[in-house]
Structure 1
Amino acid sequence: MTAALVLLCGVAVLTGHTVVNAGRWLRRPPEGTAEVTETVAVLLPLRDEAARVTPCLRALLAQRGVPELRIVVLDDGSTDGTAEVVRAVAAGDPRVTLLTGVAPPPGWLGKPHACWQLASRAEASAGALVFVDADVVLAPYAVAAAVTELRAAGATLLSPYPRIVVRTAADRLVQPLLQWLWLTFLPLRAMERSPRPSLAAAGGQFLVVDRAGYLRAGGHAAVADRVLEDIELARAVKRAGGRIALADGSRLASCRMYENWAQLRDGYTKSLWASFGHPGNAALVVALLLLLYTAPPLVAVTALLAGAPAVAGVAFLAYLTGVAGRVISARATGGLAWPDALGHPVSVAVLGWLTLRSYHLRKRRRLSWRGRPVV
């Protein structure tokens, strides 16, 4: 009984933290905003995105509230006709500049190098830079609202996390963990106020930065060899004396990250090892997650079969409390709450397996993404 009560208390504390983050500390940029008077450069890196770039680019061309909008696109060695699709969609729009990227030099990974090329070629008058991935579709007011929120927060870097579009069972099982993890474990207001680089989070799908602060931090050149270049860029901003902020961007942007299970599996595998660092840290965190969120329903069933209904009841309550945290995070970030949250223990177990796979393939030097080695 004591162990079951400890589990319940641990899950309850974390779910309570989710409630506070979601209800009080999570920034929510306005759905509509006045015009942004400064020049804004939207930077779009592309590598073999011919099948996905059209909705993204059309949404960028339809942006409102930013009279001085510049869109800089980089074709990063695509072999599927991405550049031709960009030219067709842009149809000669003078706001769009299409660049041809060069291969990353030694010491650089592909994504940071592409972003650095874009930032280096952005118009000098641009006061804000907006990095967008090809799988992101912005609402018409998204850029103006995000830049307005960046300035209102007094931040150097703002990460408005998009609504993650889920369609397959694998999506619904794994993708909601992204928002749930930072709402449950990251103290959002402390992250904004603290100068500690270790207390940082960001999502590279939709990232807004003050150009001057970005350059002071070294830009993507400072994170050239980092798999999680978005989080490392946020840390670099803090080391340079800047502030970062995280926001719910579910009303501003949507993102379909992976098309199938293989892409999802490999996408998480390439980067989970970088999220935890030392394997010992990963083992400790995964063990804690499994204990708090996967063990309770198993304990409840085992205790019930063993004739201990009181223990089963406490364990089942711990399970429901964990489900409640998942529901709260989903509703706060535009995700699906029911019935997906009921499978939360399975989601955590799959995350544990993906983490193990990430370290295993890294040790064997078999991690790659988009045809390029990750390590």
Structure 2
Amino acid sequence: MSAIAWIAMGSLAAWGWLLLGQGFFWRTDQRLPSPPRHARVEPEAWPRVAVVVPARDEAEVLPMSLPSLLSQDYPGEAEILLVDDGSTDGTGKLAEELAQRYGGLPLTVTSPGEPEPGWTGKLWALHHGIDLARTRGPAAAAPGTPGPEYDGGPRAEEPGTPATDSPEGRRPAGPCRPEFLLLTDADIAHEPDSLRRLVEAALACELDLVSQMARLRVASVWERLVVPAFVYFFAQLYPFRWINRRHRPRATAAAGGCVLLRTGTAERARVPESIRQAVIDDVSLARAVRRAGGRIWLGLAERVDSVRPYPHLSDLWRMVSRSAYAQLRHNPLVLAGTVVGLAVVYLVPPAALAVGLFGGDAAAGWAGGIAWAVMAGTYLPMLRYYRQPLWLAPTLPLTALLYLFMTVDSAVQHYRGRGAAWKGRTYARPEAAPDR
């Protein structure tokens, strides 16, 4: 056989392994666990939850996301802590106006100032929000009621303020640590029962961390081409089934847009302090929780959506390239291996099929064609999940080529001192997911 035929056979063997031996990553059936409806028993007292939202220059998406948090129908005590991380577009003021307009859960807007040395911006904001949630009591003000020291905006009262007489605002005064923390990004919109179902899953399945991969927006041509593949590649790298095993899990990850975390577990794992330099903060968080003995679940969301638009290729390019080289731990050898692997697994099959059709190499053509067919077949469930036309499945090699270029560009930007740039901040040599 020719060299291209041998390489195509290697690609076909790789796809045989990916199909059957990589945790069935291509299936999309890992959804939020919950007991059967006939067996559901509501807890006598729903645990208190603090929703922590880090936000930096999010005025564009906040009107589409924050009202969904304010309107949660959670039956227990819950409050929202929006951490305005140095925004210049009026994010904090807008959040207060939205809460005044929509009412619902109590909202506190706070700002931690610029990150201390050694912290990435998001983790600095989470640190501030989590610390505030752990050291103060439940919000005493009724939903939509401004605090006394503010001219407007429904910020929570200080600890020790007597509870109001309204049923919605009747909460005990004094410090009371929340049992759960919901860490959710400012671009994530939740259905009204999202928080209830997350807590229900954590209680019913005895989970310390419940994370859902929010359904990203798919509207523009580039979003259709790139976004489903982004989640597909993530699941290939971190198969959800492996993560969700109770015993001897073979992978650990989370999706940072929606994470429900037990407060006690967060304290044992020393998060976010122990991962303060991580750019890929969700994977780092999951590893820290796992090391602390916590049980983790990760799956695809049905009622949690990202509203952030990525209308142009450049928007998606920045999203991927800012952390791609960090995922490879800034290692040139790992980068080289990744480039070769992407080429053999995703680019060789269509190339070999073309050689077979137009160059008369039957062995290369057959091997390449079958490998491409398996590749496209594994992509179909993700396209169905994103409600996209199935004819996009054969375009996966083109998308993989784009991701290859994005990864190389991520390395180039790193060595130019512009790695992990995000909203005016650049982390020249950040850690991907610290081991300790």
**TM-score, normalising length: structure 1:** 0.91
Structure 2 partner of 1:60: 69
The one-letter amino acid of 1:115's match is L
Q: Aligned in 2, Cα 1:10/1:253: closer, same or farther, shift over 3 Å?
A: same
What is residue 202 of structure 2 aligned with on the other side?
150
Once the two structures are superposed, residues 251-274 of structure 1 have per-residue CA deviations (whole angstroms, 9 ceiling, x without a partner) of 121114443332321221111111
Equivalent of residue 219 in structure 1, options 257, 271, 276: 271
Structure 1, unaligned runs of 5 or more:
none
Equivalent in 79, 89, 96 of residue 87 of structure 1: 96
Larger radius of gyration: 2
Deviation of 1:330 after TM superposition, in Å, equals 3.4
Q: Which string of whole-angstrom CA distances, capped at 9 and with x for unpartnered residues, describes residues 76-98 of structure 1? A: 11111112211111007461111
1:288 counterpart residue number:
341
State how far apart, in whole Å, the 2-side matches of 1:154 and 1:198 are.
Answer: 20
Deviations 1:318-375, CA, capped at 9 Å, x for gaps = 11110111112333x4453523322100111111111101111111101321101122
Q: CA deviation at 1:210?
A: 0.7
Contact in 2 for aligned 1:195/1:243 (Cα 8 Å): no
1:28 aligns with 2:32: yes
Q: Note if 1:113 corresponds to 2:117.
A: no
How many residues matched? Answer: 373
- Report what 1:8 is aligned to: 12
CA 24–164 in structure 1, closer or farther in 2 if over 3 Å, else same: closer
Q: Which has the larger share of helix?
A: 1
1:1-375 pair list within 5 angstroms: 1-17=5-21, 20-21=24-25, 26-29=30-33, 37-91=46-100, 93=103, 95-122=106-133, 123=137, 124-193=176-245, 199-249=251-301, 251-259=302-310, 260-277=312-329, 278-331=331-384, 333-334=385-386, 336=388, 338-367=390-419, 368-375=421-428
Helix, strand or coil at the partner of 1:130 = strand
Distance 2:274 2:209 in 1: 15
Contact persistence 2:242–2:249 (CA under 8 A): no
Structure 1's 19 and 215: CA in aligned 2 closer, same or farther, altered over 3 A?
closer
User: Which amino acid is 1:293 matched to?
Assistant: Y
Secondary structure of the residue aligned to 1:281 is helix
CA distance in 1, matches of 2:383, 2:9: 26
**1:18 positional shift:** 6.7
CA-atom RMSD in angstroms = 2.5
Partner SS for 1:10: helix
* Contact 2:126 2:272 survives alignment (8 Å): yes
Q: Which amino acid aligns with 2:117?
A: P
Compare the two structures and name the one with the higher strand fraction. 1
Spell out, residue by residue over 1:115-164, the C-alpha distance to the aligned partner (whole angstroms, 9 max, x if none). 11111111543111111111111111111111222233322212111111
When residues 51 and 339 of structure 1 are mapped into structure 2, their CA distance, relative to the original with a 3 A threshold, is same
Partner amino acid for 1:125? R
Distance 1:292 1:235, change over 3 A: same
SS of alignment partner, residue 356 of structure 1: helix
1-side partners of 2:84 and 2:217: how far apart? 25
TM-score, structure 2 as length reference: 0.79
CA distance in 1, matches of 2:129, 2:247: 28
Displacement of 1:17 after TM fit?
4.8
Greater CA deviation, 49-58 or 161-170? Answer: 161-170
> Within 2, Cα distance between the matches of 1:189 and 1:42?
27
Structure 2 residues not aligned, in runs of 5+: 138-175, 429-436
Structure 1 contact 47–77 (Cα < 8 Å) conserved: yes
- Percent identity between matched residues is 27
2-structure distance, mates of 1:44, 1:191? 25
CA distance in structure 1 between the partners assigned to 2:212 and 2:241 by the alignment = 15
Residues 369 and 195 from structure 1, CA distance in 2 versus in 1: closer, same or farther, beyond 3 angstroms?
farther
Query: Partner of 1:41: helix, strand, or coil?
Result: strand
Aligned-partner SS, 2:92: helix
What secondary structure, in the 3-state scheme, does the structure 1 residue paired with 2:108 have? strand
Whether the 8 Å CA contact 1:195–1:241 is kept in 2: the answer is: no
Higher RCO, 1 vs 2 (CA within 8 Å, ≥6 residues apart): 1
